[in-house]
Amino acid sequence: MSGVLLEEVTKRYGEVVGVRDLGLEVREGEFLTLLGPSGCGKTTTLRLIAGFLHPEQGRILVGGRDVTALPPQQRGIGMVFQDYVLFPHLTVEENIGFGLRERGAPRDEIRRRVREMLELVRLPEIGGRLPRELSGGQQQRVALARAVAYAPRLLLMDEPLGALDLKLREAMQIELHRIQRALGMTTIYVTHDQEEAFSLSDRIAVLEGGRLIQVGTPRELYRAPRNQFVAHFVGKINFLRGTVLDGVGPVASVKLEDGHQIRVRAPGPLRPGASVCVAVRPEALRVWAGAPEPQPEAVPGLNRLDGVLERVRYAGNFTHLFIRITENCTLLAEVGGERAELHTGEPVRAGWAPEDTLLWQEGDAS
Amino acid sequence: MTTRRRWGLAAVVVAIYAFLLAPFVVLALSSLSGGEAYYISFPPRGLSTRWYLAIPASYLRSFAVSVAIGVASALAAGLLGVAAALGIVRGRYRRKELLKAFFRAPLQIPLVVSGVVFLQFYYVLFGLTGVRLLESFTGLLLAHVFISLPFVVGTVCAVLEKFDRRLEEAAYSLGASRWTTFRRVTLPVIRPGVFAGMLYAFIVSFGNVPVSLFLVGPRLTTLPVDLFYSMEYDFNPSILALSTLVVVFSVLTILLLQRLMGMDVLVRAGAKE
Ligand SMILES: Nc1ncnc2c1ncn2[C@@H]1O[C@H](COP(=O)(O)OP(=O)(O)O)[C@@H](O)[C@H]1O
Ligand SMILES: [Mg+2]
């Protein structure tokens, strides 16, 4: 078991940037997820760590040892690929035992360990079958068993659940979590699915365009996204644009494009007149029917915007409300249960607390 | 598909097979003719195996030569073909098509021309170095490898292009060296293509006349050339019997190989796993 350290790693494919100046630390025993849209460099990062690719710049350390120049055979890293990539001509047992055999483990040892792995992934009965005789979910488990059978220092998984359907994917997430905890192996996981990342990870690294944008626990990313990209990628969010009126003190006031004035928790002192982007999560919004009646004043200090309820999407345990504020501004609110008193086409008022507002200065990436 | 269409299709298929098989049926039945006639009689007059019993033992020698050359060509073309295909498919150069065309070239040269060229080449070589390749096993083998190599290169290229390189990466990450990976992963996965190519190579070599014609002599000759000369100068119905046996031998070879090596795997390899 061991941690991983990437130091300013850069990899280009000709003109195309795979990853650029990527610095990242993965702690021992940690489950870290690389999250980002397709093409952001997740696979490239994994393949650099696995040793299938070599960086033009930077160093890669596994367990404190510089492995940048080592071939994959000597890195002691297990890899699970998106569409399994099992050896089609070998049985499940032979697939799982492959790494042990290559490392010269004695026969009995291999047999015992393969049994153990099959138990671990809960497929004790299928050792003699060929990969093509298995379902997708079974193949994925075998791929995982193969990768961890020889107890590598580090486990890499590239969208391992991407090819499975939703129900199976959820079941497999639970399995993966259980297995990773049971083995205690440092794991780097790749997905473009934010929910999957949240349900599995100790920490998440968000990538965009080959660069690392932010690393943190799911909670940190959700509560304090470093920029609009992260905020948007991690959960749903409403963006509003405006200029600073008063930026001194912990709560700034901002004038929105449509003229409304709101109060925002400020990350630091703000220059009056600066353009800013503010954002509020849908579940932070409270919604009242019958604006402009002044009920929200009952909760002092709340920001409020009036609009028309455009659409209601009932989802069982919550309801999504789409509130049209102006021509080009619609807010999404997520409220619990059913809100029978709200009707589409009627005026509503949305309110939220200044502490629930996020703020970034425009033209400032960090 | 409607029933009528299906019957129509079946009829076309049967017709094509009938057309392809007709010559063989004529050959096989004629060879079983009971008559005394020293010419081809079809339909046969009575059935007998007398011409089979009258096959001269001298053909056994050329048959053995043909089998040996065929097997050796298949093995050599297999080895060279896999190496060439790996180079073509995996190499990093811009003009891959050119390289492919180069390895296909033997197919585009008329076989007779290839035969003449080898003959000339062997003459010149003998004149220059004293190495005698004419009428030798080695000389014949070289020419046969030349004409059968494109078949191996073609089939192996096809399977290699479909091969998922991540299988090799998986093996590397599990600790397998490059050579072990080739032996335990790459080769087994592309094996159906390699076998198919080698089978082609054997058949191409085994049946060849136009190239062998120039390179054999009384001391070393192949069965097809032997038969060819007999047809020309010394016909008797035993030749029909022998030809029939050759066809049966070829078919059995293919069936046996299919049995042993699972040629149907090739079909499966084509379909996505
Ligand atoms: N073999 C390759 N050749 C050229 N460009 C590549 C190659 N692999 C990846 N890329 C490019 O590098 C970038 C990052 O790709 P990748 O790491 O596969 O992203 P992700 O896995 O996050 O979808 C993309 O722009 C992609 O097009
Ligand atoms: Mg990817």
Together in a domain, A23 and A169: yes
Is the peptide bond preceding residue A292 cis, with omega within 30 degrees of 0? Answer: yes
* Domain boundary residue, one of A214, A230, A246: A230
Identify from B164, B166, B168, B174 which residue to disrupt to test chain A contact, counting A C-beta atoms within 10 A and taking the largest count. B174
**CATH tag for B58-271 (out of 3.40.228.10, 1.10.3720.10, 3.20.20.140, 1.20.58.340):** 1.10.3720.10
Residues of chain B with CATH 1.10.3720.10: 58-271
For residues A142 and A147, give the distance between their C-alpha atoms in angstroms, rounded to a whole number.
9
Tokens found for residue A281: 């999560």
* Domain boundary residue, one of A186, A212, A230: A230
Q: Which residues pair with residue A262 across a beta bridge?
A: A254
> Closest by alpha carbon to A105, among B189, B174, B184, B187?
B174
- Asked whether A194 and A166 are in contact (CB, 8 A), the reply is no
Which stretch of DSSP H or E encloses residue A102?
helix A92-102
Residue A366 in domain? no
Is B169 within 8 Å of A150 when comparing Cβ atoms?
A: no
> Which residues in chain A touch residue B92, judged by CB atoms under 8 angstroms apart?
none
Residue A22 in domain? yes
Question: Which mutation among A12, A13, A207 tests ligand 1's pocket best, with the greatest number of atoms within 8 A of CB?
Answer: A13
pTM for this predicted structure = 0.84
Number of domains within chain A: 2
Query: Residue B255, exposed/middle/buried by CB under 10 A (0-12, 13-18, 19+)?
Result: exposed
Tell whether B187 is within 8 A of chain A (Cβ). Answer: no
Residue A287 in domain? yes
Q: Nearest residue CA, atom 21 of ligand 1? A: A43
Domain extent for A9: 4-230
Together in a domain, A205 and A328: no
Q: Return the axis-axis angle of helices B223-233 and B238-261, rounded to nearest 10°.
A: 160
Residue A60 in domain? yes
For residues A95 and A98, give the distance between their C-alpha atoms in angstroms, rounded to a whole number.
5
> Closest by alpha carbon to A192, among A339, A36, A22, A81?
A36
Is B169 within 8 Å of A79 when comparing Cβ atoms?
A: yes
From first to last of its 366 residues, chain A has per-residue pLDDT tens of 479 999 999 999 999 999 999 999 999 999 999 999 999 999 999 999 999 999 999 999 999 999 999 999 999 999 999 889 999 999 999 999 999 999 999 999 999 999 999 999 989 989 999 999 999 989 999 999 999 999 998 999 999 998 888 888 888 899 899 989 988 999 999 999 999 999 999 999 999 999 999 999 999 999 999 999 999 999 899 999 999 998 888 888 899 988 888 999 888 888 888 999 999 999 999 998 875 555 555 566 789 888 999 999 988 889 999 999 988 889 999 998 778 788 888 899 899 999 899 999 876 544
Distances A80 to A159, A188, B84, B254 between C-alpha atoms, Å:
8, 10, 31, 40
Together in a domain, A73 and A204: yes
Instruction: Rounding to the nearest 10 degrees, give the CA dihedral for residues B214, B215, B216, B222.
Output: -90
Tell whether A160 is within 8 A of chain B (Cβ). Answer: no
> Which residues in chain B touch residue A50, judged by CB atoms under 8 angstroms apart?
169, 173
Q: Which ipTM did the prediction report?
A: 0.85
